[in-house]
Structure 1
Amino acid sequence: MLDSCRWLAPEVKRPDRIGSFYEEHLSVPVAADSDRERVLDVGGGSELRLRRPDGVPRGGLHTHYALSCPADAYERWFERLSAAFDLQEVDFGSMRSLYFYDPAGNCVEIGGTDDVQGGGEPTLSGLFEVVLEVESLPDAEEFYADLGFEVVDRGENRRRTRLTTGAFDIELWEPHLGLADARGGVHVDIGIGTADPEAVAGAVAGRTTKRETVADSVRIRDPDGHYLTLLG
């Protein structure tokens, strides 16, 4: 019942300055702008919502997240970004990913997905992963599995779990430094598409710490303080 990640909200002090960073280095267009948020279109129906910490829900701090790009555009992205950043690269076999940091301390990953082709241009095709820091990995894993995610991978030392909707992954991390010294995000706020927001929220009703209706969506807060807006 869960679908793709519609948006991720990183917390930044100056949305205009951090927005300019992304506009310069990733050539992403501004979709909306206000005193609190600058919204960037990162392709595939996904947005980055750069948000000032002056309301609730806040955005996520030091969030590690991944953007997909066409497989045939990956080398172009590497060449372009290596001129400005000391990139770290990981070969996962089915795809390669590069890692760098934005000025707010978020670890940005760009992965060349095999199932997307884009004519070789350095374009982006959406958000495919967000990492959340959690206190109890077994409890968080159970919560997200009941929400509708499927467990697809666990770390050998049980410090992380990857779950998927089929279109979008969440990684749950106990506090530690991961690839590229990334950390899981705290009080992350994300929007996820679903055919039935009420039913999805109802599946975890006894464990959410907050629930409210926002327009035609349902916003819940998990036991670790992360907000999920379930968008119909």
Structure 2
Amino acid sequence: MLSSLRWLALEVKYLDPAGEFYERHLDLPLAEQREAELVFDAGGTDLVLRRPSGVPRGGLHVHYAFATPPDRYDDWWERLSRRFDLTEHRFGSARSLYFYDLEGNCVEIGQRGEGDRDIAGIFEVVLEVEDLDRAEAFYTTLGLDVTNRGAERRRVRLTTGAFDLELWEPHLGLADARGGVHADVGIEAEDPTAAAERVGGQACDVEPLAEGVRVRDPDGHYVTLVP
């Protein structure tokens, strides 16, 4: 069984301006500074900014979504619209705004979540894949469930119940977003070894770690399963 998203890593050229962007515009607290990495606390999910100094690399042009309690959304719109050219879309009664960071990642803030924090986690990550059917088979075998598919675009949305993963064949989505390439995510798993074994025949690589198992999917994305 899979559950929450533990981290999302993004690749950046320069740590200082990238880190300042997330501290200044999104008030994310710096949780840890490592060699070639900054780790921010995004409402219980780690947002990792990583220089391209090793493998796995962080993701490039990733579209991902922060959750904010519904009553905080208008405050975010007022604040960010002073600096960014925002795009907004509605999903039923919920609204989401979109803008771009310094590295070309499409950042979404959506009305989802609860609690006292203005950013209440990351609830969606979008990955670009070459073959949608192959990618869907990999992630459903891993333990995610399909919730919907695109009618006009080649995409599929899956969930663990705690966060959503969208798989896109190459195209421009809402706000001209693109799915990320060579992304690095960490997902909590009840039994990391068993989950990794299920996809062993589909994965490019499976690597046991001191804590958990790192799996490389058929499109080169890294998924680390952690207890």
Q: TM-score range by the shorter chain?
A: over 0.9
Aligned twin of 2:114: 116
2: CA distance, partners of 1:199 / 1:32: 30
Question: How far apart are 1:104 and its partner, in Å?
Answer: 0.4
1: CA distance, partners of 2:191 / 2:148: 26
Partner AA of 1:116 in structure 2: E
2: CA distance, partners of 1:156 / 1:111: 22
Deviations 1:87-123 (A, max 9, x none): 000011131100000000000000011x5254xxx71
Aligned twin of 1:82: 81
Structure 2 matches for 1:73-222, cutoff 5 A? 73-113=72-112, 116-118=114-116, 123-222=118-217
Matched, 1:11 2:11: yes
Percent identity over the alignment?
61
Give unmatched runs, 5+ long, in structure 2: none
Retained in 2: the 8 A contact 1:33–1:39? yes
Query: What is the aligned-residue RMSD (CA, Å)?
Result: 1.1
Q: Bigger shift: 30-39 or 166-175? A: 30-39
Partner AA of 1:204 in structure 2: V
Question: How far apart are 1:157 and its partner, in Å?
Answer: 2.9
2: CA distance, partners of 1:100 / 1:190: 21
SS in 2 for 1:39: strand
1: CA distance, partners of 2:109 / 2:141: 29
2: CA distance, partners of 1:145 / 1:75: 36
Structure 1 consecutive aligned stretches of length 4 or more whose deviation exceeds 3 Å: none
SS in 2 for 1:10: strand
SS in 1 for 2:54: coil
Partner AA of 1:11 in structure 2: E
1: CA distance, partners of 2:30 / 2:16: 10
Question: How far apart are 1:146 and its partner, in Å?
Answer: 0.7
Partner AA of 1:24 in structure 2: R
SS in 1 for 2:11: coil
Question: How far apart are 1:16 and its partner, in Å?
Answer: 1.9
Retained in 2: the 8 A contact 1:71–1:117? no
1: CA distance, partners of 2:175 / 2:12: 21
Give unmatched runs, 5+ long, in structure 1: none
Question: How far apart are 1:211 and its partner, in Å?
Answer: 1.1
SS in 1 for 2:22: helix
Partner AA of 1:149 in structure 2: L
Partner AA of 1:80 in structure 2: R
2: CA distance, partners of 1:9 / 1:210: 19
Question: How far apart are 1:158 and its partner, in Å?
Answer: 5.0
Question: How far apart are 1:213 and its partner, in Å?
Answer: 1.7
TM-score w.r.t. structure 2 length? 0.97
Question: How far apart are 1:55 and its partner, in Å?
Answer: 0.1
TM-score w.r.t. structure 1 length? 0.95
2: CA distance, partners of 1:106 / 1:179: 13
Q: Bigger shift: 99-108 or 88-97? A: 88-97
Structure 2 matches for 1:13-92, cutoff 5 A? 13-43=13-43, 45-92=44-91
2: CA distance, partners of 1:171 / 1:146: 15
2: CA distance, partners of 1:37 / 1:25: 19
